[in-house]
Amino acid sequence: MKPRDIPALLYVALAVIFIFLPVVVLVQFSFQDGLAPVPPFKGFSLRWYDKMFADRKLMEALGNSVLVGGLSSLIATALGFLAAFKLARRPGRGAPQMQFLLMAPITVSYIIIALGLLIVFNGLGFGKSLLAVGVGHVVINLPLCFAVIYSQMGEHQANVERAALDLGASEFKALIYVTVPMLWPALLAAFFIAFTLSWDEFVIAQLLSKFDVTLPVVIFSLLRTGLNPVTNAVGTFVFAVSIGLVVLVELLLARRPRDG
Amino acid sequence: MAESVVSLRGVSKSYEGATAVSQVDLDIAAGEFVVLLGPSGSGKTTVLSMIGGFTAPTTGQLFIDGADVTETPPAQRPTATVFQDYALFPHMSVRSNVGFGLAMRKVPRAERSRRADEVLRLVGLEGFGSRGIHQLSGGQRQRVALARAIAVEPKVLLLDEPLGALDLSLRRQMQDELVRIQKSVGTTFVHVTHDQEEAMSIADRIVVMNKGCIEDMGPPSRIYLRPATLFAATFMGESNILAGEAVEAAGECTWIKTALGTLPVPGRAAMGEAVKVLARPEHVHVDIGADVGAIAFGQGTVTEAMFQGTHLRLRLNAGPQGAVPITARAAADQSVTVGDSLPLSVRSQNLVLLRG
């Protein structure tokens, strides 16, 4: 190592510490063997996790999060796939404009989307609910799902689909037996990206839910009564699930496409 | 000629004003091995794609087995395509790939596997059924693509430069295999390539295409030895082309005045018509004494002599002031060196009269 590299390394080290220190502290004090989730660290204990899993409100919220995340991601992935298939394989007129419209929601802040949906849902007569949150999550995740899947639809696969049609498959069968299996990694990646975002999304979940709430909303209400080792445990749990999914997505998308 | 399986009638294709194929008429007989040959952009792949149903003709009609299929999608045509990049289903086993077409035709599973294994044996991949596509080499994938297309027993098998990605020795081997397989299944093959050697070694009939039009078609030997057009002549192999003028008719021949003398060329031309004369390098001889019935083809000075194993390839400057470059061949054991001045000769029956 040359002496002139030292400032650069120092900078990188500081940046990494800056980014990860809060998470490290959160995770560390979720294992705190004491009542105060602040230094000094008194020893290792899983009691807060026990408490978390025993808390009915938290567990209900966990179930709600999984339900909303799972269903909204499934719908966003399915819709994103269909849009990507249409735009990649049968572009036709107005395809660039359509693509722009599909991607546009990504530029709108969640609070604006939440407010808009709130107004629409009130107008339609069905108010704040988990369903409303789910719809909101489909809205924010559809552009991402579309982009991930669209980016993985190459010309080579188009030829493979052509081969299926040539061998007598209907368009629907070619889609089911060839296109979807070939795009499996992209579809799973889109699903898990959407799930991760839904899993820790707070603004829409807070504004559009009432009695049944998701985990981030519960964490927020817990925090209002002050720091508590249980919130650290919940936070760590949410974080671990997110990280796990992100790693899974990385593995799926980084997998070398098999040539052939 | 047997009844034609494929007929193109005045078929054209243009893309936003640019013409890819223009007014093509083509009849392909049952059991024939036809090769569409031409440089890139000649429209050969577009013709294949129109037969397969992937490209709709702008004008004209297309018949397969007597039925107008101009508007029929690929799935309902009795054709199957071997794609240039093979386009195998990467998530399926070799057997599932080969059986895919049969599955789409609702053939029961057991029958499907039996038939897939049978076709795999035909293409020399016996016992490969349960392998994954990614476990195969390029040549093996090529065979799977072929087997997959053959398995549905198409009336017409379309091959889009299927050997393009293979190395030379494998390509030669696959050419022989293709001919063997074609003879054994008896299916009509339509094969696209830009390699004239490949075309000559596999085709029953070559269709030479250029700029969207058919330049010439016929058996390989006829196309090579007596091409119909200047383009076909130069595309099929090395050639010497001399500009000339018809000066006198003499029976089956016409005397053509060229820079290398006045030559009797088979064919007819109007007096005074400007024509071209083709002489293949292997038909230009440098050993005049040994050749009975030869006619003088001027005197040439050797500028290059390359040993090619089977023969010597010579570049010469012939004609007045050495202004006419000629390529000729000499026997491999002949001693020819650069600077030699040699008398050239040709035989009348090897010369070809060309226009354009």
User: B25 with B9: CB under 8 angstroms?
Assistant: yes
pLDDT in tens, B195-238: 999 999 999 999 999 999 999 999 999 999 999 999 999 999 89
Q: Do B101 and A260 touch (CB under 8 A)?
A: no
pLDDT in tens, A50-69: 878 878 888 888 888 999 99
List chain A residues with CB under 8 Å of B148: 163, 167
Are both B201 and B306 inside the same structural domain?
Answer: no
Are both B226 and B298 inside the same structural domain?
Answer: no
User: B170 with B141: CB under 8 angstroms?
Assistant: no
Query: Which residue is listed with tokens 């409100």?
Result: A57
Domain boundaries, chain A: 60-254
pLDDT higher than threshold 90 for residue B287: no
Query: DSSP code of B345?
Result: E
Are both B244 and B213 inside the same structural domain?
Answer: no
- Token pair in block for residue A55: 């808390």
Percent of chain B with pLDDT over 70: 98
Helix axes A56-89, A47-54, angle to 10 degrees: 80
Q: Do A258 and B141 touch (CB under 8 A)?
A: no
Q: What is the CATH number of the domain that holds B96?
A: 3.40.50.300
DSSP secondary structure string for all residues of chain A? --GGGHHHHHHHHHHHHHHHHHHHHHHHHHTBSSS--SSSP--B--HHHHHHHH-HHHHHHHHHHHHHHHHHHHHHHHHHHHHHHHHHHS--TTHHHHHHHHHGGGGS-HHHHHHHHHHHHHHHT--SSHHHHHHHHHHHHHHHHHHHHHHT--HHHHHHHHHHHHTT--HHHHIIIIIHHHTHHHHHHHHHHHHHHHHT--HHHHHH-SSS--HHHHHHHHHTT---HHHHHHHHHHHHHHHHHHHHHHHHHHSPPPP-
List chain A residues with CB under 8 Å of B93: none
Task: Give the pLDDT mean for A81-92.
Answer: 89
| pLDDT (0 to 100) of residue B139 | 87
Q: Which residues contact B129 (CB under 8 A, 6 or more apart)?
A: B93, B94, B95, B98, B113, B116, B117, B120
Are both B253 and B274 inside the same structural domain?
Answer: yes
Are both B256 and B177 inside the same structural domain?
Answer: no
Q: pLDDT-based confidence at B290, cuts 50/70/90?
A: low
Are both B29 and B138 inside the same structural domain?
Answer: yes
List chain A residues with CB under 8 Å of B90: 160, 182, 258, 260
CB pairs under 8 A between A and B: 74
Task: Give the pLDDT mean for A173-198.
Answer: 90
Integer Rg of chain B from CA: 24
Q: Do B152 and A259 touch (CB under 8 A)?
A: no
| pLDDT (0 to 100) of residue A72 | 95
Among B235, B257, B278, give the residue marking a domain's end. B235
Domain span including residue B96: 4-235
Sign of CA dihedral B212, B214, B215, B221: positive
Are both B216 and B279 inside the same structural domain?
Answer: no
Are both B198 and B144 inside the same structural domain?
Answer: yes
Q: pLDDT-based confidence at B187, cuts 50/70/90?
A: very high
User: A48 with A54: CB under 8 angstroms?
Assistant: no
| pLDDT (0 to 100) of residue A238 | 83
Are both B291 and B181 inside the same structural domain?
Answer: no
Q: Do B134 and A156 touch (CB under 8 A)?
A: no
| pLDDT (0 to 100) of residue A33 | 74
The two most distant CA atoms of chain A are separated, in Å, by 70
Angle at A247 between CA A243 and CA A249, to 5 degrees: 115
| pLDDT (0 to 100) of residue A259 | 38
pLDDT higher than threshold 50 for residue A97: yes
pLDDT higher than threshold 50 for residue A257: no
How far apart, in whole angstroms, are the C-alpha atoms of residue A216 and residue A68?
12
ipTM for this prediction: 0.79
Q: Do A258 and B79 touch (CB under 8 A)?
A: no
pLDDT higher than threshold 50 for residue A229: yes
Closest chain B residue to A182, measured at CA: B91
pLDDT higher than threshold 90 for residue B321: no
User: B93 with B132: CB under 8 angstroms?
Assistant: yes
| pLDDT (0 to 100) of residue A258 | 43
Q: Which residues contact B102 (CB under 8 A, 6 or more apart)?
A: B111, B112, B115, B116, B151, B152
Are both B282 and B316 inside the same structural domain?
Answer: yes
How far apart, in whole angstroms, are the C-alpha atoms of residue A135 and residue B11?
52
Closest chain A residue to B140, measured at CA: A260
Task: Give the pLDDT mean for B74-85.
Answer: 91
Task: Give the pLDDT mean for A210-219.
Answer: 85
Q: Count the residues in chain A.
A: 260
Position with higher pLDDT, A119 vs A36: A119
| pLDDT (0 to 100) of residue A127 | 77
Domain A60-254 CATH assignment equals 1.10.3720.10: yes
Are both B155 and B12 inside the same structural domain?
Answer: yes
Q: Do A167 and B100 touch (CB under 8 A)?
A: yes
How far apart, in whole angstroms, are the C-alpha atoms of residue A179 and residue A157?
8
| pLDDT (0 to 100) of residue A255 | 63
Of B4, B340, B47, B28, the residue nearest B210 (C-alpha): B47
Q: Count the residues in chain B.
A: 356
Among B194, B213, B235, give the residue marking a domain's end. B235
- Token pair in block for residue B321: 């002031």
Among B235, B269, B289, give the residue marking a domain's end. B235
User: B88 with B148: CB under 8 angstroms?
Assistant: yes
pLDDT higher than threshold 90 for residue A23: no
pLDDT in tens, B252-285: 889 999 988 899 999 888 888 899 999 999 999 8
pLDDT higher than threshold 50 for residue B295: yes
Position with higher pLDDT, A142 vs A157: A142
How far apart, in whole angstroms, are the C-alpha atoms of residue B18 and residue B14?
5
Least trusted range by pLDDT, from B37-51, B287-301, B341-355: B287-301
Are both B275 and B185 inside the same structural domain?
Answer: no
Q: pLDDT-based confidence at A108, cuts 50/70/90?
A: confident
Judging by DSSP bridges, how do beta strands B261-266 and B274-279 pair with one another?
A: unpaired
Structural domains of chain B, count: 2
DSSP secondary structure string for all residues of B104-136? HTT--HHHHHHHHHHHHHHTT-TT-TTSBGGGS
| pLDDT (0 to 100) of residue B255 | 92
